[in-house]
Structure 1
């Protein structure tokens, strides 16, 4: 309970209404908030709603009861038995009008015809209009037309027999208007009910589609995070392992080199933590680290090449064309492709291997070519299993490119791809 609600004399009613509104919004959106404040917000309306929720058969029984009470109190004793019997025959079937509208209409129409034959006027004739309304609200067009024609025929017979001299046209028009109004109101109820059902079905379908889209988006986000974590962890751990081996070998012969390698290990670990915070910080609103450290791009490839050189893989970088027009997502893709290719070279080639990275930027596409002079794979041609190359293919496919990874004709291994920017990429830039 809020402070404004606890104090009746609070001087801030607007703040109180805002808090109540936020509480209701939280209940609707999350479903986990305590529903007690919402239930206590409108106790009077909830009580009235519970009081009005009577079974339909109770409402349908009110009109027959009133008609019978009226006949029993207003008719003369000599006409009472016939009037009560005909009123019961006309009104009592209305209790079941929702379950069997056509059957009830037939029973009421038959009772009205008997009444006409007995030349006895009764207020219970209104039951014909109620039965017609029910047929129009629950049956199709054909049933409504047939029921309306039957009631209109009965109206014509009643006006011919009971209309005063000279009053037939006026009476017949008035009765016809009531018949048409009952039928039209019933059709309107049926149309409204069908419209609401269609709206509910559409809302349920849209909700289902939104749930599916949310699940697909969550799956894509999990895939993206998994791919990013793989690139970050695999690359930095490979570099740290290589630097650790170099430090172990140099700790006795060259302590200065060992110290430099250990400092580079520390820097690589910090960089890995920064990359992980940046990748996961996108998921959290207001994460400052994601703003302080933008995602890496083409400009950071030089730092990556220096890092690989320090880890024992001499790397030569060549970037042609301006990359300032490239969107951040494209630059991140280029960076991850080069990072994964160099990491695979560092892990699977012996000492002394050299790598070359060539990036060609244009307005329509970005070509990435990473090669090395390491030994070729075994004659079977089976590449090492893992998630690196499939992840690179997924990144390239996101921009309409295909990845080619395999041995080179003159020896070594190469990774080539071409990312298509198209009009959307240029626009976003």
Structure 2
């Protein structure tokens, strides 16, 4: 309950200031008789309307003390000076001068707070030396010191509140900045994930569509000559399309939340290279696969990289090498790296390039993730070659952990 009341009061600061000004105004009016009749000391009485004007001038502007702290402090200081100039009695409303000193210290810059403290201290000195004229210098100082201590306490309190507010504002700004940085990191991570999925989609679609186009062309050519071969080509098209859909569903599944479609097929690896080469042969490109060295257990992600590099290279060979080209894939297991070499005897440097493909870039990016490299280019005797080297010793632990 008190917390909600405090929050409500913080949302209505002018009402809080009004609640402060009203008791001071009421207290000043309740003792009006004391200040409008002769009394002790050297202060002279004032008329009731003059006293009422002084009290009102000191209390009413307090409603806007937070909105215009310097203007309200200057106005009340001028009223206090007029009160001192006419030798009018000091009353409860003069307490607002110290309140405004606190407000200036809390709401304004440090130099403004020093100026306000100097003005209040000057007013205290003038008041003591005028209204305590019958006292000696020592008694005047003993009278001035409490005023100075009280004014200094209000000034320090205002500085503390100002420092606390700035510290809180800095913490809030830091929290917002960290939140923005977190969102930025999430966006970068999402962009990286989208780029990875885009590479995967490119590899799947480019390979599968190329196979389906070649088989469709062959089926349309053989449908009247050899219906059996045309039927086998159509079956290959269907199998390739289903495989492409399966891989696309698996990759797009990471973008769904709460998907109950069940587990997807595992990622392809080195063991699936034989099936890949078989598909390429069925599509009309003679391919030979040779494996050298002692096969070792490789991380799944690294096997996927090997598979995608071979798939992309053979897809490019089928698209650009020409109708009479042949290809060979060599996989070598070394002590510290796996080397892949894909060669063909097609057009090589004379092959057309529309500049729209992302396969070579995707292969380089995949290899770079494991500290490897990819070299591509035409062969001196004709044809094209893709050579990749993927370290497996040091990155293996990091890859498994990932």
Q: What range is the shorter-chain TM-score in?
A: 0.7 to 0.9
Change (3 A) 1:93 1:403: same
Which residue of structure 2 lines up, in the alignment, with residue 146 of structure 1?
A: 115
Which residue of structure 1 lines up, in the alignment, with residue 62 of structure 2?
A: 94
For 1:217 and 1:66, how far apart are their aligned partners in 2?
Answer: 60
Contact 1:68–1:84 (8 Å) recurs in 2: no
TM-score (norm 1): 0.74
Partner of 1:282, secondary structure, is helix
Contact 1:401–1:420 (8 Å) recurs in 2: yes
Out of 269, 283, 287, the position equivalent to 1:315 is 287
Which residue of structure 2 lines up, in the alignment, with residue 74 of structure 1?
A: 31
Give deviations 1:188-208, integer Å, cap 9, x for gaps.
Answer: 222233223323433443344
Alignment of structure 1 residues 249-268 onto 2, 5 Å = 257-268=229-240
For 1:164 and 1:275, how far apart are their aligned partners in 2?
Answer: 102
Which piece of structure 1 moves more, 366-375 or 201-210? 201-210
Does residue 404 in structure 1 map to residue 375 in structure 2?
yes
Alignment of structure 1 residues 332-347 onto 2, 5 Å = 332-347=304-319
Contact 1:71–1:83 (8 Å) recurs in 2: no
Q: Give 5+ residue unaligned stretches, structure 2.
A: 38-44
Which residue of structure 2 lines up, in the alignment, with residue 111 of structure 1?
A: 79
Q: Give 5+ residue unaligned stretches, structure 1.
A: 1-41
Change (3 A) 1:363 1:69: farther
Change (3 A) 1:163 1:242: farther
Partner of 1:222, secondary structure, is helix
For 1:205 and 1:421, how far apart are their aligned partners in 2?
Answer: 40
For 1:131 and 1:322, how far apart are their aligned partners in 2?
Answer: 86
Out of 306, 311, 316, the position equivalent to 2:278 is 306
How many residues align? The count is: 384
Which residue of structure 2 lines up, in the alignment, with residue 395 of structure 1?
A: 366
Which residue of structure 2 lines up, in the alignment, with residue 132 of structure 1?
A: 101
Q: Per-residue deviation at 1:105?
A: 2.5
Q: Per-residue deviation at 1:130?
A: 0.8
Which residue of structure 2 lines up, in the alignment, with residue 36 of structure 1?
A: none
Does residue 236 in structure 1 map to residue 205 in structure 2?
no
Which piece of structure 1 moves more, 45-54 or 341-350? 45-54
Q: Per-residue deviation at 1:416?
A: 1.9
Contact 1:137–1:186 (8 Å) recurs in 2: yes
Which residue of structure 2 lines up, in the alignment, with residue 23 of structure 1?
A: none
Which residue of structure 2 lines up, in the alignment, with residue 386 of structure 1?
A: 356
The higher relative CO (CA closer than 8 Å, separation ≥ 6) is in: 2
Which piece of structure 1 moves more, 279-288 or 298-307? 279-288
Change (3 A) 1:325 1:133: farther
Q: Per-residue deviation at 1:135?
A: 1.1
Give deviations 1:382-404, integer Å, cap 9, x for gaps.
Answer: 53433133433443444455543
For 2:67 and 2:165, how far apart are their aligned partners in 1?
Answer: 16
Change (3 A) 1:209 1:364: farther
Alignment of structure 1 residues 14-413 onto 2, 5 Å = 53-54=11-12, 56-76=13-33, 77-78=36-37, 79=45, 80-116=48-84, 118=87, 120-155=89-124, 158=127, 161=131, 174-247=146-219, 257-285=229-257, 287=259, 291-320=263-292, 325-362=297-334, 364-378=336-350, 383-387=353-357, 388-413=359-384
Q: Per-residue deviation at 1:306?
A: 1.8
Q: Per-residue deviation at 1:126?
A: 0.9
Q: Per-residue deviation at 1:225?
A: 2.6
For 1:93 and 1:207, how far apart are their aligned partners in 2?
Answer: 41
Q: CA RMSD in A?
A: 3.8
Contact 1:338–1:370 (8 Å) recurs in 2: yes
For 1:395 and 1:389, how far apart are their aligned partners in 2?
Answer: 10
